[in-house]
Amino acid sequence: MRQTELVDRVASYSPDIDETLLNRAYVYAMHKHRHQKRASGDPYFSHPLEVASIVTDLKLDQESVVAALLHDTIEDTDATRREIDSMFGPNIGRLVDGLTKLKRIDLVSKKTRQGENLRKLLLAIAQDVRVLLVKLADRLHNMRTIHHVKPEKRHRIAQETMDIYAPLAGRMGMQDVRDELEELAFKNLHPEASELITRKLVSLRDESRSVIAEIENNLIENLAASGIKAVVKSRSKRAYSVFRKMERNGVSFEQLSDVIGFRVIVDEIDHCYRALGVTHRKWPAVPGRFKDYISTPKQNDYRSLHTTIVGPSHQRVELQIRTHGMNAIAERGIAAHALYKDGVYAAPDEDAKGKSDLSKKLASESLAYAWLRRTVESLSEGEHPDDVLEHTRLELFLDQVFCFTPKGRLIALPRGATAIDFAFAVHTDVGLSCVGCRINGQAAPVVTKLENGEEVQIIRSENHVPPAAWEHVVVTGKARAGIRRATREARMKQYSALGEKILTNAVKKANREFAIEDLTPVLGKLARNSAEDAVAAVGRGELPVDDVLQALYPDYQKERSTRERATEASSEGWFNLSGVANIMFRIPGRRRGKKYAEAAQEMTNSIPITGTSGDLPVKLDPAGGAVPGDRIVGILSEGEGVTVYPIHADALKNYENTADQWLDLRWDINEENPERFLAKIRVTAADAPGTLAEISEVIAKTDCNIANLFIEHPNDGLANMVFGIEVWDLKHLNRVQRETRSLSVVSHVERVSG
């Protein structure tokens, strides 16, 4: 495309253009890319020129066209943002910068880099939506020429297009761009399926020509008889759309009934509903197939009436009824907002600040743009770059349900969303304090999946912290980000308290005074951003106490040897756990002096299970410890009888290839005469005087006996303690772990076997 042709294309829809600006951008981009070639061997400048051509097809303003010409100059040439600003103005400089990938940033993985680039793009789009339009034009041309790229790179680009850019175009209502991106990506990811379905679609279209013409004529005649002027167009589904429906519904191509549909385009909104009435009076409607997206538009601004009828030849016919303005927005999405307002042409112009009417209109009118702003808000709350990709995919791929607050506010949510998602959609604070809900006036679990039209009332408690498990229940990125952040803050608080205790104790032993503010001058040595972060890292066991002491006191020397510290008793009458390794403690109690295996054998003279014959000796695995509530299996060994293992026991790996030895067992508990069973838990806690006493006290308060205790080698202020405990059942064991985990001196609690 020549320079004059580009100017003519822009002038055809925007007469008041600055030809000098366009010509200067054309020459500048051609000069900067003059020594570069594409993978096809063509001059590189052909790419930005084609991107600019696509932008003119969308009828965007001249700043967007200039940005399209310049979009690779900062990234791939010696051009700078300052130079772009000085030659073309700061608005165009901002657009080009928003389209420039992050290059010189040290990120650990391609996924992280991809997430950072996506975050940067979305933030730039939120500032000016024209960034997105030019970016989609750029990706579209790259996909049109992807056959010149190496196969491994081609697959990666196609997958990224399918995962991010095609759904993003759909979310912005740009259906034509989305369809083409999906088709091109599908062709590269699944070439055989693409070719087969395309061949079938062409064949079906050829076979149905007469039927299609008959339906078109019937629709036009019936609508005209009612005084409705309409344009009727037939359309067939694209190959990827057919492929996705076949996969989702598990059907063959021949079983699909709506491969070919019809679009009825009228002049006014009132005519949409009148056309619907005429059609339903003439032909039977298929129950459950009517949707009104005019009264309730989709989040991407899509508006239309959908219905399915049994047509003239007794076949199902899918109809979409909309106005010309709706059709423009359905095909070109946000790009059409600048040109159509209820079907009236309105060319974009520049305001005093140089921002196009397109961006102003979208900020105030577009539902799609509102979604984008909400997405960007969540991204700006500090998510990890890897989470940006997951979040965006969650938001892009899901269909919608519409629910209401008790005051009548409409909340649009992805399909499969729960009341928790609803709460976060209302406000982040509502989601964080959500403890229950009422759906249509009836109490319901917060994990209930919502349906269209339901009224949802959220029950709140200000002191509530959302459980971490909710992260795996919700489907919206905003809810997931909020839960992760709350969980992170709760853990940070716990680790900070634990870390402060560890540091205070260590500094006290060194005969020094400690305040958390003392860490600020040495944060650089510790590679931490704040004193709170450093203290929490100590609590998590990530930052050794000795490293902190060396940073605080350069003359610090490690104190007494492990043996000397191991023999020191604390003022509370409990062993100081510092440095103690591989010592089996004897805990006072009714099994004083017994080792774990001996205690286990004594407790299992009569095991309450079913699934074995009465003449076989049965014993519990002394290493693992099964408790009622565990799923259990038996291993039959010659001369030894049956050994009972919990299903999670490591020892079962030794019997994976001997299926004939396995027995299916079940507990047979006598509730009137309960007994205790041995289990093991590992507790990672602060290596300080009084820690063992504090943990033991909590275990005792839960009605639990300690049979034995094994102290493993402590690690930088933390000690690992393996408790052999006697519990009634699995529920009791879980309560012991939960109560122990709540202690400020405890970093981690887990059940162990073996």
What is the per-residue burial (b if ≥16 Cβ within 10 Å, else e) of 502-541? Answer: bbbbbbebeeeebebebbeebeeebebeebbbbbbbbbbb
* Edge-to-edge strands, sheet with 618-620: 618-620, 641-646, 632-637, 662-664
What is the torsional sign of CA 724, 725, 731, 734?
negative
Supply 391's token pair: 């979040």
Contact between residue 642 and residue 634 where contact means Cβ atoms under 8 Å apart:
yes
Q: Rounded to whole angstroms, how far apart are CA atoms 599 and 707?
A: 7
Phi, psi of 387 (to 5 degrees): -70, -25
76 is catalytic: yes
**Cβ atoms within 10 Å, residue 351:** 10
User: Mapped to the 3 state alphabet, what secondary structure does 488-499 carry?
Assistant: HHHHHHHHHHHH
Contact between residue 182 and residue 166 where contact means Cβ atoms under 8 Å apart:
yes
What is the torsional sign of CA 714, 718, 722, 725?
positive
Contact between residue 348 and residue 129 where contact means Cβ atoms under 8 Å apart:
no
Phi, psi of 79 (to 5 degrees): -65, 150
383 is catalytic: no
| Distances in whole angstroms, Cα of residue 667 to Cα of each of 622, 650, 673 | 17, 20, 14
Of 498, 495, 430, the closest CA to residue 464 belongs to 430
Contact between residue 272 and residue 291 where contact means Cβ atoms under 8 Å apart:
no
Supply 14's token pair: 């925007």
Contact between residue 367 and residue 350 where contact means Cβ atoms under 8 Å apart:
no
| Distances in whole angstroms, Cα of residue 173 to Cα of each of 301, 367, 368 | 6, 10, 7
Q: Which residues pair with 261 in a beta bridge?
A: 235, 318
Q: Which of 18, 57, 76, 471 is catalytic?
A: 76
Q: Which of 18, 19, 57, 75 is catalytic?
A: 75
Of 308, 310, 327, the closest CA to residue 318 belongs to 308
Look up residue 91 and give its amino acid. Answer: N
> Which helix (H) or strand (E) element contains residue 212?
helix 209-225
Show the CA angle centred on residue 404, arms to residues 341 and 473, nearest 5°. 110
What is the torsional sign of CA 153, 159, 165, 166?
positive
Which is it for strands 746-752 and 677-686: parallel, antiparallel or unpaired?
Answer: antiparallel
- Which positions are annotated as active-site residues? 75-76
